[in-house]
Every structure is written in structure tokens, then in C-alpha cells.
Structure 1
Amino acid sequence: MTTIYQHFRPEEKSFIDQVLNWKSQVEQSYAPKLTDFLDPREQEILKTVIGKNHDVQWQLFGGAHYSERKRALLYPDYFEAEKDDFQLTLFQVVYPHKFVKIEHPQVLGSLMSLGLKRNKFGDILFREEEIQFIVSKEIADYLCVQLESIGRATVKLVAKGFEEVIETNEQWQDRPITASSLRLDTILASVYNLSRQKAQAYIQSNLVKVNWTHIENPAFECREGDIISVRGLGRSKVISIEGKTKKDNWKVVIGLQK
């Protein structure tokens, strides 16, 4: 018997079950359900699982149309979703930028150190020395009181309207590669011009994520749409798998983040 799980990786089953549970809640209560922030892979799973369902509809919003991390709102057909229904707060970080530099990992580390889960935070945005981040509204007051420093910098949070959100312009540069297999270590070696041994070392040192999840298995098989990030080397995307060459290698189109 065909099941929805066959279309996804085994490790994604628990999240699929979560989406099905959200859908059931909306159907039974006939009321909207707001999720925490979802990464782009989770968003794709939600869209596929819910589909174009007349009884339960969905929207995604993370503060701007280009947001990477977004909350999902599932709702019955009578409901008209507004941006305020996503319960988001945009914070500007005020800090002595002339004397200290703050980087993305420091911001995320400081937020996580307050005992909050990653799914309570959306995108962390930078523009030169300007820093913003988006959070679930329910933790906004707590953050204002508790977040006093990031790295060595004393900070203050100022709530902003979303018309002031920093714009990002993520671009990918297509690059065709050939690889002997679709294993993660093989793809990494081809994309980043590494030896297989070096690629395996990155993976086994917990420096590689696929679809925002740490992968420690070099034999993990890559698929179309996968986002791969390697600490220190950047991000890439499997745009398409084009079949095999005459020498039985895989032809793959990779997107490299500019």
C-alpha cells in the first residue's frame, strides 16, 4: 500500500506525523493553528502533506517574502489570514558597533543560551553593522529583559515595524558537476574541490548539514532540492540531477550561494 512516507526520507517521519496532527487539530476544532518557525525543508514537507486541501488551508510567513525561516498558519476555509496572525516581532540590536563586531553565530548562540529552542527564532539579518532578528511574539518580552549581551558587546533590543526589515537578496550561481555517486561525501568533494577523505572528515566532525540537520553519515544520499551547508565553506543546493554520463557518473547541477 502506498503511503505518504514513501515520498520522504525515513528521518522525516516524525515531522510528517506532526504536520498530520496539526491538520487534524484544525479539522476537529475548526480553528486556526499557528506553528513555530519552520526551516525551508520543513516548509516543503508541510506544503506537500497538506497539499491543496479545501478543508484545511495554509500560509507561510517569516517577516518578509524572502524570509528563510517561516511560521505556518493552518486554518479552515472560513478564516481569512492576516500578517498579524503570525505573531512575529522584529528586533533591532543596538550595540557599540564602532568598537566591537558581532557575527551571526554569536547572535544565535546568545539567543539559544537563554534556554529557548531554535524554532522560536526566525531569520537573523545583517546589513553592514546593522543587525536584526525575528522572533515569536510570545517570547519578545522575555528577550527584552534577558538578552543583555552578545559576545563581548552590551546590547539593547528595540522593536521595529516590519516595513523596516533588512532586505536580503540571496542568489545562487549554477554550476554543473559530475560525481561517481550521490553520496554526500562524493558530492561535497566535487562541489568544494576536496578529496573524499577530507569531505568525510568534515562530515564526521559534525560540520555538515543537509536541510538544516547535521549529517554524520558520509553515505547519506543527496536528492534534488537538498540544501548543503559546510561550516567555513558556505552553502550549496542540489538544483537538479540530470542522469548519468557514458562513464556511469552522475550529472548534477549545483547552485553555489553568492
Structure 2
Amino acid sequence: MDKEEQLLRRRLLDLANTSYYKGICVFSDFLNLNEQNIFLSMKSELPAIQYNFFGGFPDAERKMLCFYGNDRITGQEEIPFPITCIRISPRNKRFSDSLTHRDFLGAILSLGIDRSKLGDILVKEKEGYLFCTSSIHAFITEQLIKVKHTMVNAAVIEQEDFHYDPALKEITGTVSSVRLDSILSVAFRSSRSSMAGLIQGGKVYVNSREVVSNSYVLKDHDVVSVRGYGKFIYIGTSYQTKKGRYSVKVLLYT
């Protein structure tokens, strides 16, 4: 266990204890998939307390963690997550660069903001939608005026005004067995051996949990994230061919 992981574990345990002994909601910064996985591995160390993840919208990858000991809270919708959505739009779309996730992230980080204060960034038709810790939204909307070579406006929008319809590409293929490495090879059109290396290298997460076994069997509608490759929903098998191979289908986020 490296020093960074030790610090994360200590910080999350401190938050859990604060919530437990004071009976209040406390929130972490945004956690990436690896950090979420570390937390899930340390649940046995926590006091008897409830927790929930949320990133601002249902399919978010980077999420805040909330600890709460209030029995009156019965669902995620009742937790006051301090998350704000900011729409970043070109002042003149006609002359705007074709902006990418990396462009938006780079411009925001150049303001001196720590990555842990930022959630997901979604790019749609030259606009970016940033989810961030509410305490910094005023700074971002005031200071962010340019992304790449494009002048932009940054404004807070209400989360109920944010509509996310992910672009999903249906991919099908046949596999000899429904092992994780086989499904990854279908989703990303790559060899099983290269996918096996990613799994063993700790780069594959199923429902935010790290999976390091090539033979892991996915369940229908599991969400699989692969660092450096992307994310997909495993739909399942539809039939078995005469040669005994399984027809599988995934929905790849594009």
C-alpha cells in the first residue's frame, strides 16, 4: 500500500467517524474509480454508518462520497450533495474550435483548481458541462474565459435543467465463453491477450469495483470501465450458435 492510498484511507475513515459521532452528513471530494474501489475495500473498518455515492447525474464516473447517520434520510435524493453543474459554451459557435474533453479539463486546471474538486465533464455540440464542488463554482464562472483558442461563457445551470442522453453504440460479437477478457475484446475490437493485460494491470472496473480476474463473469447490465479505452454496458447473451459460441451485446459510450 503506497503513501497516497494510506492518506486516502485515513481521510475517508476520519469523515466516516465525524459523521458517526456527530450525526451529520459529511462529503468527500470527487473520487475516481480507483479511489472508489479503495473505499469499497475498507468497509469493514468503518463504524456502523450509511453512505452513498453521487456524481451529479446517474451515469457519472467521478463521484462524491457522502456519509450520513441520520435515520430520516431514506434515499439519495434527500442527500444535499454540494455539486454544481456549469455549462461552458463558445461565445460564437460558428468560429469555435472543435473542443474535446481534454481541452475543457486543461483550461479548468490551468486556473489552479485541484482535480479532486472536479467531477465529470461531458462534451456535447461544442459545449462542455462540468460538475464541480459547489464552493468553487463562482470562481470558475468568473475566471474561465477561454478554452483552447475559443472565448467562452461559463454559467451555472440547475441540475434539473441538465438533460443527459448518452450516445451509445451497439456492438455485437460471438465468444467461446463469457469471460471478462472475451467481452472486452468484443467491446473494444481488440485481442483477448491485450485485454487480459489491462485486467491484470488493474485498469478494469465493474460497477466501480476493480476486477483483476480474466475469467470474471459479467452480469446483465453491469457497467464496465476500462482506463484509457472507455465504458460500456454489458447487455448479455442472446443465443448460442451451432458451434457452441455465445452471441453477446454491449452498448459502448461514444
Which TM-score tier does this pair reach, normalised by the shorter chain?
Answer: 0.5 to 0.7
Checking the alignment, whether the CA contact within 8 Å between 1:94 and 1:157 is kept in structure 2 is yes
- Residue number in structure 1 paired with 2:95: 99
2:29 is the counterpart of 1:36: yes
| CA distance in structure 1 between the aligned counterparts of 2:100 and 2:159, rounded to whole angstroms | 22
Change (3 A) 1:145 1:130: closer
- The answer to whether residue 64 in structure 2 is matched with residue 71 in structure 1 is yes
State TM-score, norm by structure 1.
Answer: 0.64
1:142 alignment counterpart: 139
Give yes or no for contact 1:132–1:166 (8 Å, CA) kept in 2.
no
Distance (Å, rounded) in 2 between the aligned partners of 1:43 and 1:154: 35
CA distance in 1, matches of 2:249, 2:69: 39
Shift of 1:97: 1.4
Rounded to whole Å, the distance in 1 between the matches of 2:191 and 2:41 is 36
Q: Offset of 1:165 from its aligned partner?
A: 0.9
Change (3 A) 1:39 1:168: farther
In structure 2, the residue matched to 1:87 is 82
Q: Give structure 2 stretches of 5+ with no counterpart.
A: 206-211, 237-245
- Aligned 8 A contact 1:228 1:237 in 2: no
> Take 1:97 and 1:113, find their aligned partners in 2: how far apart are those partners?
23
User: Any unmatched runs of 5+ in structure 1?
Assistant: 1-9, 212-219, 241-250
| Percent sequence identity over aligned pairs | 23
Secondary structure of 2:21's aligned partner = helix
SS of equivalent residue, structure 1 residue 27: helix
Q: Deviations 1:235-256 (Å, cap 9, x if unpaired)?
A: 457899xxxxxxxxxx9x7845
Judge conservation of contact 1:93–1:155 (CA < 8 Å) in 2. yes
Alignment of 1:1-258 (within 5 A): 14=6, 15-40=8-33, 42-43=35-36, 46=39, 49-50=42-43, 55-78=48-71, 80=73, 85-95=80-90, 96-100=92-96, 101-169=98-166, 171=168, 173=170, 177=175, 192-194=188-190, 199=194, 209-211=203-205, 227-230=225-228, 234-235=230-231, 255=250, 257-258=252-253
**C-alpha separation in 2, matches of 1:90 and 1:19:** 25
Q: Which amino acid aligns with 1:93?
A: I
Asked whether the equivalents of residues 33 and 74 of structure 1 are also in contact (C-alpha less than 8 Å), the reply is yes
CA-CA distance at 1:124 after TM superposition: 1.4
Aligned residues: 226
Per the TM alignment, residue 34 of structure 1 is displaced from its structure 2 partner at its CA by 0.7
Q: Please report the RMSD computed on the Cα atoms of aligned residues, expressed in angstroms.
A: 4.5
Supply the distance in 1 between the matched residues of 2:252 and 2:157 (Cα, whole angstroms).
Answer: 29
Q: CA offsets, 1:66-113, max 9 Å, x none?
A: 333221210113463766721111111131211112111101111122
- SS at 2:56's partner residue? coil
Distance verdict in 2 for CA 1:191–1:54, change over 3 Å: same
For residue 169 of structure 1, what is the amino acid of its counterpart? P
Give the TM-score taking structure 2 as reference length: 0.65
Q: Helix, strand or coil for the counterpart of 1:132?
A: strand
SS at match of 2:30: strand
- 8 Å CA contact 2:88, 2:128 repeated in 1: yes
Residues 1:40 and 1:238: Cα distance change in structure 2 (over 3 Å): farther
Do the aligned residues in 1 keep the contact of 2:187 with 2:252 (CA within 8 Å)? Answer: no
| SS of the residue 2:80 aligns to | helix
